[in-house]
Chains A and B, each alone.
Chain A
């Protein structure tokens, strides 16, 4: 009986791609990688060869990924560049979903209250002085921002803050902080504005309409008008 190959190696211009079969057992797979790579290790070459590992529909735990990387690394001039899989766990998927969804909230964030969301925040209401809104992504406020808004909480410098009326006490984006002028002029309407980090790493407030040029990635609609 002819044994089908569980590991196939393909050369591309970026290096080697290791296709691992996803129907055999993990132990079999390890053995075969070890075997295959020992056969083909070209020890004469000094240059490091990067390897992409493609595991198909197999889910690898972090330990297993480490094991495979280690296995490949043992072959003299090979190093694993990336491992890609077609599958992720439910948890990971939910995390990704959370970080990418817009969470609508209809509430007033009052003094002393903190509202935090992992993704983008759409607040239908005001942020009063002393109140704080925090988002992993962007913050869109359909109301008056008088408190603190912190966008890009996990370090996303591309994040932005928009508000129908922009009179914040502080805006934070990623690790940049800016505070309000000590006094807003009465005739200063501050309507429909956005805050973002500019090229010199400082937070700037501008007209809302500038966003389409500054952060074209905010638009998620694909295709026609």
Chain B
């Protein structure tokens, strides 16, 4: 029985889809069988980031409306030996085409066959959000060091805490610019973590390579020379290592990337 993890943020444009793609890729690199589910119906783009767009035949709505079987709609990523699949969102319907109950059933079916289901959530807190969260067991909230993103993350965390089936959410701080943080022009990691008071599961530096890789349909996590790739791989390891306690916040929070690397280098 696998686990379903929803990646959400409230605010748009903070990197939910990029995070979903890379965390999924990194988990697959760790030898886990992963299924990515795009729930952003009408505005799908996880397939684009993964470079799987032109292999889509059926989509999420086709599955839920019985036009095909789940395995027919799943797009296999050839870069991984049978480890990474994508269930794309429909582009022609809108979010109300799906109900939370349907999603719940679909996700619990997928959990039979996969170790991890990564659910990419649409922005906002309406219908699409409720669909995405319905089947999830765990949640990861993505934010950037901006006041508006942190405010929306706070709202989403409040909503997630009300979900009975979802464990208390974990936090990823994305697009950190070390220099700006040092100058105090950006909220620092410590400040965000105390403000939101949930566990930090990883921080990702702002890296041009991420955008370049996304545009080529290759998740950055595949490139071991990138800082961001290592950050995503570390996040995947932390997801796997749930029985091993996370390092205390002080070790992680200073915002110094090397500290994180060092921690996992030692391990």
Interface residues of A, Cβ cutoff 8 Å to B: 108, 110-113, 126, 128-131
Contacts and interface: CB of A to CB of B under 8 A. Distances in A.
A129 B161 CA distance: 17
8 contacts: A108-B197, A110-B157, A111-B151, A112-B155, A130-B151, A130-B154, A130-B155, A131-B158
Nearest to B125: A112
The 7 nearest A-B residue pairs measured at CB: A110-B158, A111-B155, A111-B154, A112-B155, A110-B154, A113-B158, A128-B154
Interface of B: 151-152, 154-155, 157-159, 161, 195, 197
B2 to A, nearest CB: 29
A129 B147 CA distance: 10
Contacts of B152: 111
Nearest to A112: B155
Contacts of B195: 126, 128
Given A110-B158, A128-B154, A131-B158, 10 more contacts: A110-B154, A110-B157, A110-B161, A111-B151, A111-B152, A111-B155, A112-B155, A113-B158, A129-B154, A130-B151
A191 B159 CA distance: 29
Nearest to B161: A110
B153 to A, nearest CB: 9
Nearest to A108: B197
A131 to B, nearest CB: 8
A129 B151 contact: yes
A131 B158 CA distance: 10
A112 B161 CA distance: 13
Contacts of A131: 158
A2 to B, nearest CB: 70
B122 to A, nearest CB: 18
A128 B82 CA distance: 45
B197 A111 contact: no
A126 B197 contact: yes
A108 B157 CA distance: 10
Contacts of B158: 110-113, 131
Contacts of A129: 151, 154
B253 to A, nearest CB: 17
A113 B157 CA distance: 11
Nearest to B162: A113
Nearest to A110: B158
A53 to B, nearest CB: 51
A130 B152 CA distance: 10
Contacts of B154: 110-111, 128-130
Nearest to A129: B151
A168 B222 CA distance: 45
B152 to A, nearest CB: 8
Q: Which of B151, B158, B197 has the most CB of A within 10 A?
A: B158
A130 B195 CA distance: 13
Contacts of A111: 151-152, 154-155, 158
A186 B197 CA distance: 21
Contacts of A128: 154, 195
Contacts of B157: 110
A129 B158 CA distance: 12
A129 B154 CA distance: 9
